[in-house]
Amino acid sequence: MPHPVRSAFALTDDPDEACYPGEESLVATAVPNRRREVVTARRCAREALLALGHAPAAIPRGPHREPLWPAGVVGSITHCTGFRGAAVAHTGELTGVGIDAEPHAALPPRVLGAVTDPVERAMLDRLATTHPETCWDRLLFSAKESIYKAWFPLTGRWLGFEDARLDIDPDGTFVGHILIESPLPRLAGRHLVDRGLILTAVSVPAQG
């Protein structure tokens, strides 16, 4: 991600780590594995905020399950098996941040049909032919998740998988074209496959 972003990640959990004060409601009904994911990911978020110059604080959840950041901060949190992470930036430098992590494994066929259109499926076929070592379908899914996480705080509107069409380049970049009315018709991001994980990230520059 670009220089204004501060991030932190963890590959394991501390099973004895206590929930941060003010975040108990986030895990009140969660099973143990889910609880550990949330606790570790929120710790990563505080580490990223500290690197940005913010004191530790609870990070509650909004009505659409979005993290609620301190004033003047945009950010994103992700967690999947083997990875928990967060990325934040000041609103004067970026107006949106979205990150996502997924296991490097193919999507189930029924999911693929729900998150792509024919144009994207043709692109995935080409990528699979030229670069078969990468699960491009899962990478597309992750990239759309990152796009949504950057888009929603700016618009307050739902963005379906069918509302964004992706162009993915094997050089490590992608572009999402928003197909509905939007102040952000195009969102660019980066992707990485490493340690059995797919990582994607989107940042929205501040206007000025």
Along the chain (208 residues), what's the average pLDDT of each consecutive run of 10 residues? Answer: 92 95 93 95 98 94 93 96 96 95 94 95 98 98 97 91 96 96 92 97 86
According to the model, what pLDDT value does residue 206 have?
Answer: 85
According to the model, what pLDDT value does residue 58 have?
Answer: 95
Class of domain 1-208: alpha beta
| Alpha carbon distance 56, 70 (integer Å) | 10
According to the model, what pLDDT value does residue 71 have?
Answer: 94
According to the model, what pLDDT value does residue 182 have?
Answer: 86
Q: Where are the domains of the chain?
A: 1-208
The CA-based dihedral angle spanning residues 91, 95, 100, 106, taken in that order and rounded to the nearest 10 degrees: -170
Q: What angle do CA 161, 104, 46 make, to 5 degrees?
A: 80
